[in-house]
Structure 1
Amino acid sequence: MNLPLQPPVAIPGTGHVPTGTGTPRIDGRAKVTGQARYAAEWPATDLVYGVAVNSTIAKGRILGFSLQEAEAVPGVLKIITHLNRPHMRGNGLFYKDMTAPAGKPFRALYDDVVRYSGQPVALVLAETFEAAREAAGRVETHYEVEEHDTNLLAAMGRAREPRKMKAGFSAPPKDKGDPTAAFANAPHQVVADFYHGVEHHNPMELFASTVIRDADGHLTIYDKTQGSQNSRWYVSQVFGLPKKKVTVRNPYVGGAFGSGLRPQYQLPLAVMGSLALERSVRVVLTRQQMFTFGHRPETVQRVKLAADADGTLRSISHDAVAETSRFEDYVEVVVNWSGQLYACDNVHLGYKLVDLDQYTPIDMRAPGAAHGMHALEVAMDELAADIGMDPLALRLKNYAEVNPADGKPFSTKALRDCYRLGAERFGWSDRAPLPRARREGHEWVGWGMATGQWDALQMFARAHARLHADGRLVVSSAASDIGTGTYTVMSMIAAEALGLPLEQVSFQMGDSTLPVAPIEGGSSHVTTVGSAVQGACEKLQKQLLALARKQGRAAFARARVHDLVFARGSMALRDDPGSAVPLTALLADGQLDGIEAKYLLLPNLLEQRKFVRATHSAVFVEVRVDEELGTVRVMRVVSAVAAGRILNPTTARSQIVGGVIWGIGEALHEHSEADHRFGRFMNHDLAQYHVSVNADIHDIDVLFADEDDRVVSSLGAKGVGEIGLVGVSAAVSNAIYHATGKRVRSTPITPDKVMR
């Protein structure tokens, strides 16, 4: 059964839309009308339903199963465990997906070892979902229980250096200057300890995999993933299947935020079921099971800052200890930001791990920076209060014109503009210098601010473009759209390159058979895939010019591509509008049904490594605090962002707004509570795991500083996915201090902490 990929259709009547213009999502209509299909919604004949059974202990061994009651449920076809699973390769090397950290990745149903609470131990396969769910509840697993350790705070004494570093991770640099002596000799000192609990991603779309088996054994898999080619690689390597026998598709993804960077366990379980029964199989995790794989790691930090009376920073020390699993070393860039953001001659940065009997943490929006920047920015606010200095003035006093760690220049850095734009829009100059200065009714009003920084990344990608004889342009790459607006911005880039109306352009993605693209993560998709799309379309421009010459069009005889302008479906000389010729006429006269081009985008690392490439933000927050109830309301947020050229302000603003909302959730609500007696997360649903809801969110204002970065990408763009979150929780914390005079450093800032 071969179901064709259905790309979204552009909104008709939009006409030519240049980049930089606010444009509605071209996939919006498909989503709001239900035409967009997600991983659990693709139809298949003779479909089998699978439900995972999870361990009830945190550590031990499986002694056996009692399956009679489960197998007696009408409609049950098979129950797969480690004892009867399909063949899986034994060498752990083959299980490393493209984003795996150092170590031995977890393998579902591979052996009898229980490594964490909630680990899948069996898969029930049945003719209906209801039968599979009923039978799963009747599976009885017998264990040999071993003592477990899931308590980071109790295990701090055995913190260690990471054994190996994953690709893309930069270990903290060696000490700069003498931070200990500089701290001791400075007149103003701050020592601040921070604790950040576990957070779980909880995107709206549950993790699911629908494996559609063709008569010839080919598997077409619709997977909840941020990288179709990564999932295909994983399935092929784990089960020893030729790549041509596996196609993975993810045309629509209902949010992921990093949880889909790695294949989650429903994918191998669904493939196991399909291989065992030789039928199509669907496995969907429940909301509770969404808490049984990776999460933002629990982290403990200490920041020490010292400054002169005029605010000049003399010493920065930042140490962090984070959790990882027993089988992998998951690492994040938590402390490095403290050595980059502010000018200082004496810096110490340290980062350690503690092994726990939990699943490996995974990237969650702005991994590392969400915690590390929070600690730094709250400590900076404390230092400003100790000196008696305005928090914004302290940051401007120590503004880094070059990277303090190595002296490299920034490719672009419009952070000063962010400070200025945000402060002006917020009205920061009217801020009372001391806490507890303003009360309205039974609430104290406070203002706080913080800085954000995130990397500006570019990877490698391929793109293919085909201009059809009727003027339609189809561009493709195995990219992903996790709700960020990728379909729209890629179509805009292509449409602008050839001067076509947006409704004549289709961008195909979310299919592992398309040209290679990186996993959608790190705010790098526009700079990477977008640049590849631009490159492919520029090749088409050259072919069209060659056609014009071949057809004897005298106006173009000596023209070069930079002499041309593409607009309204035509090609013309920039200085001679009368020379315009429709692109369809060029193809018709050449008796061509279309022309096509491929492009490989490789970052210019030699050039890029000469610079520090980063996005920046300045976040300003107003809160109202009821000390008697301990409640905090975030009334206003102004987020000013510098992220290169903003190709689509509409979707970019949505990204920042979403990041701000999550930052409010990080500050006030989100925390996965563990009962260490059982080694288990207890609030594993949306009734008990609190996320921001409509009543929590008020005014959010987003501003973009003027920035154009041709080092990061030929488009001048950076990325906006992560930067919207960074700094928000710190600004909320700082505003609470300004309102009440009470300093609550750790997150979430729950009512009990405010009252305390």
Structure 2
Amino acid sequence: MTKTSTLLGKPLSRVDGRLKVTGEAKYAAEFNVSGLTHGCVVSSAIARGRIKKLDTSAALAVPGVLHVFTHENRPRAAWFDRNYQDEDAPSGSPFRPLHDDELVYSGQPIALVVAETLEVARYAASLVQVEYKTHSHETDLRARRGKAYAPREGKGGFEPPPKPRGHADKALAHAAARIDAEYSSPVEHHNPMEMHATTVVYEDDGTLSVYDKTQGVMNTQKYVSKVFHLSPDEVRVRSPFVGGAFGSGLRPQYQLFLAVMAARELKRSVRVALTRQQMFTFGHRPTTLQRVALGVSAEGKLEAVIHETVSETSRFEDYIEVIVNWSGLLYQCDNVRLDYKVAQLDTYTPIDMRAPGAAVGVYALECAMDELAYAAGIDPLELRLKNYAERDQNEDKPFSSKELRACYQQGAERFGWARRTPAPRSMREGKQLIGWGMATGVWEAMQQEASAKAVLSIDGKLIVSSATADIGTGTYTVMTQIAAETLGLPVEDVTFKLGDSSLPMSPLQGGSWTVSSVGSAVKEACEKVRERVFELARKVKHSPLAKARLDEVSFDGGHIRSKEDPSRAVSITEAMRHGEVLHIEEQTVSLPDKHKQSAYTLCTHSAVFAEVRVDEDFGTVKVTRVVSAIAGGRVLNPKTARSQILGGIVWGIGMALEEESVLDQKLGRFMNHNLAEYHVPVNADVQDIDVIFVDEEDTIVNPLGAKGLGEIGIVGVAAAIANAIFHATGKRVRNLPITPDKLL
């Protein structure tokens, strides 16, 4: 029997693991019903213009084809306000599939072929003939740089960078050592293993059961209800398993709209699943062009920080990321100027991708810090320690907790940083140039409003539920641990339910806030159940706990025990039987303590150390070692937490060396839209990775003290690798990814 007193903080294996490895876990495109039809999306071939003619006759002539939806025949009732915004939408007007003949980006859906089988739908879709009127397009951020603008405050929830402090330009000019350089990062696409798909089951009463790949079933439900003028009771959304998302599932994607539209019009169940190529036709990490200028005194103290960024958005929405603010937060400096602008391109709106803003902004800052260390003749780690920020100067607030010094110390010790020889090209083995680099990582710790329900039955079984998601992060497992520990039950007696819009309200799963938000709600709901069952235990005839207070007992192994004398105990089932209570149900809404939290800056931190080997003749790079030391508050499950950091580091390797969505500027189209040409790290690219969780206590962030770990794992990794490559080769490459041609 698993003792709950040791559950939190222990490496419990995933409770949903067996379902996944045996194939019993069902994903959005795997829910089958009788009479299910299949939709195939036809995508536009041009980036900007209009549809002159759409000929669907050949497609409609194929046996088994039920309908071809286009802008000319789409149901008129199925539409939504131009100003409607889903939960994760930026400001502007959302993209509306099949609205009219206007084309605003390459790959835009222009028709949906629905047939009795997937094979027939795909074949018929290939027969749709389209004539275009092409307009000139602009998809090159560098060419549009001069037309970039500063987003307005409050637009789409945007908070502009902090106002300048001190006199950064003047301080830079008088610094003893300085660097002033431009760094760039390319478009990346999420490429989760599971493609986006929606299965809409059309029920006999006209209601819809929607199985969607999403990071928020409630957001999907609100979207469908609003767009199709339905009540929430007419739409139930489920997403019990998600095969990776990384931000791509935060917003409803166009296959959802098309599947619901077709199901309602045909009064049939419909599935629309996107192809891998079509996964490149919505959202991406935006291109960035970043200027970072740093100045340092002769003693190594930062005297100037300037960080200016231009990134991309679409023509119809203002997508905004927090890219530059980290540079005013991470190090102590009294002269700081930060600036952020966006430029409109003829592409789809970018969407959040793991650690949005920080992954690219901290990359530029940390590479610049490395350059500054060489310019000043100071060890890169020492430079960071000399400028350690004890307080957030952006907001003039203390940190709720900050164990970054310990990250530096433990990470450097584990990595062996003291053995590094500082000169570039000074470490080698034969033709292999060896480089060591490091970087800092930072991400914000957040808590959102969330609700959870706990139902304890007389047989001692507990069911806890919330409409949250598990995109592979271990939500099922950690929530089970929280509930089991709170009520002193074995893990096998606890079931956690998620991914269903009929369950208690939950925010989108993103931003590393799920444990702090939903976990806090689960804890609160179980605590309310605990109070009620304790009162029943006190009333048991001759109860040894009759005069005890709640704080004088512990819940352990299905029993309520006196802390003073554990032999004095009442079992949960005995208490409920005596009280003639079949089940105890409690539901709660957990809210962040904004009054308490507002006085502090809440962040996770990391220190990343990387070793690379670069072939002197061919310029090929292999990352041979990474050590990442993480300060993320209380770690509730080191096993699932470590997996999160490992995944972030592997992605950081891809970001540094491989990942890039290549745009053909003449066509305005991403050309490497498959996993053969969009390169990601594979097993052979990933060698030794060491994860350290630094002890950190935080009583401010939330009742659990957990800060979240999904995002921080990637932040700083690309910079550490880039800095290691410079140390190995003496060549500074500021444009990601760092491919062999750039080193040669």
TM-score, L = length of structure 1: 0.97
Partner of 1:710: 699
What percent identity do the matched residue pairs reach?
Answer: 57
Partner of 2:83: 93
Shift in Å, 1:44: 0.8
- Aligned to 1:611, the other structure's residue is in SS state coil
2:138 aligned residue (149, 169, 191): 149
C-alpha deviation, 1:167, in angstroms: 5.5
CA contact (8 A) 2:545 2:569 kept: no
Q: Which one is further off, 623-632 or 457-466?
A: 623-632
Residues 233-632 of structure 1 aligned to structure 2 (within 5 Å): 233-632=222-621
> Partner residue of 2:102?
113
Give, in angstroms, the shift of residue 278 of structure 1.
Answer: 0.2
Structure 2: distance between partners of 1:471 and 1:122: 53
1:111 positional shift: 1.6
Residue by residue over 1:6-57, the C-alpha shift from the partner in whole angstroms, topping out at 9 and shown as x without a partner, is xxxxxxx656451000111011110010000000001111000000000111
**C-alpha distance in 2, partners of 1:591/1:243?**
36
In structure 2, what is the Cα distance between the partners aligned to 1:164 and 1:118?
32
CA displacement, residues 547-599 of structure 1 (integer Å, 9 cap, x when unaligned): 12333555433433222200011001211212211101111111111111111
1:221 aligns with 2:210: yes
SS in 1 for 2:568: strand
**3-state SS of paired residue (1:62):** strand
- Counterparts of 1:126 and 1:405 in 2: how far apart (Å)? 57
Work out whether residues 306 and 315 of structure 1, in 8 Å CA contact, stay in contact via their aligned partners in 2: yes
> Structure 2 counterpart of 1:641, which letter?
I
Which of 191, 197, 200 is the matching residue for 1:208? 197
**CA 1:300 to 1:553, structure 2 compared with 1: closer, same or farther past 3 Å?**
farther
| Deviation (angstroms), 1:407 | 2.3
Deviation at residue 627 of structure 1 after TM alignment: 3.0
Q: Please give the per-residue CA displacement for 1:277-311, whole angstroms capped at 9, x wherever unaligned.
A: 10100000000000000000000000000001111
Which whole-Å CA distance do the structure 1 matches of 2:270 and 2:42 have between them?
A: 16
CA 1:14–1:212 in structure 2 vs 1: closer, same or farther (change >3 Å)?
farther
Q: Is the 8 A contact 1:100 1:166 kept in 2?
A: no
Q: Paired residue for 1:655, among 626, 635, 644?
A: 644
Q: Which residue of 2 aligns with 1:680?
A: 669
Give 1:60-209 correspondences, 5 Å limit: 60-86=49-75, 87-94=77-84, 96-163=85-152, 165=154, 169-209=158-198
Distance 1:165 1:88, change over 3 A: farther
Q: Aligned residue pairs: how many?
A: 742
RMSD of aligned Cα (Å): 1.1
Give the distance between the partners of 1:528 and 1:559, measured in 2 at CA. Answer: 32
Contact 1:206 1:290 in 2 (8 A): yes
> Which stretch shifts more, 136-145 or 205-214?
136-145
Does structure 2 conserve the Cα–Cα contact (< 8 Å) formed by 1:710 and 1:717?
no
* 8 Å CA contact 1:164, 1:329 repeated in 2: no
Q: Partner of 1:394: helix, strand, or coil?
A: helix
C-alpha deviation, 1:71, in angstroms: 1.0
TM-superposition CA deviations, 1:124-172 (whole Å, max 9, x none): 0000100000011111122221111111111111110114545664320
**Are 1:226 and 1:256, in contact at CA under 8 Å, matched by a contact in 2?**
yes
Separation (CA, whole Å) in 2 of partners of 1:702 and 1:147: 49
Q: Compute the displacement of 1:61 (Å).
A: 1.5
Give the Cα separation in 1 of the matches to 2:209 and 2:699. 39
Query: Which digits, 9 at most, give the CA deviation of each residue in 1:388-441, with x for residues without a partner?
Result: 111000000000001122320000101001001100100001010111111112
Please list the CA deviations of residues 359-385 of structure 1 after superposition, one character each: whole Å capped at 9, or x if unmatched: 000000000001100000000000000
> In structure 1, what is the Cα distance between the partners aligned to 2:586 and 2:568?
25
Q: 2:533, 2:80 → 1: CA distance?
A: 53
Question: Matches of 1:560 and 1:441 in 2, distance apart?
Answer: 71
Q: Structure 1 pair 649/90, CA: closer, same or farther in 2 (3 Å)? A: closer
Q: Deviations over 1:677-698 (max 9, x none)?
A: 1110000000010001111000
Q: Secondary structure at the match of 1:215?
A: coil
Q: Distance in 1 between matches of 2:542 and 2:593?
A: 37
- CA contact 1:638–1:702 (8 Å) conserved in 2: yes
Query: Matched residue of 2:79: which SS?
Result: coil
Shift of 1:81: 0.8
Find the residue that maps to 2:236 and give its secondary structure. strand
Q: Secondary structure at the match of 2:398?
A: coil
Unaligned runs of 5+ in 1: 1-12
> 2:612·2:621 contact (CA, 8 Å) conserved in 1?
yes
For 2:524 and 2:721, the matched residues in 1 are separated by 42
Unaligned runs of 5+ in 2: none
Q: Look up the match of 1:745.
A: 734
Q: How does 1:682-697 map to 2 (within 5 A)?
A: 682-697=671-686
Instruction: Give the whole-Å Cα distance in 1 for the aligned partners of 2:209 and 2:716.
Output: 41
Superposed CA deviations along residues 653-710 of structure 1, whole A, max 9, x for unmatched, are 0000000000000000000000111110000000010001111000000000001212
1:49 is paired with a residue whose SS is strand
Between the aligned partners of 2:125 and 2:667, the Cα distance in structure 1 is 21
Match of 1:5 in 2: none
Aligned-partner Cα distance in 2 for 1:72–1:154 = 45
In 2, Cα distance between the equivalents of 1:535 and 1:558?
Answer: 24
Q: Classify the secondary structure of the residue corresponding to 1:92.
A: coil
- Amino acid across the alignment from 1:215: D
Distance in structure 2 (CA, Å) of the matches to 1:379 and 1:174: 22
Task: Give the structure-2-normalised TM-score.
Answer: 0.99
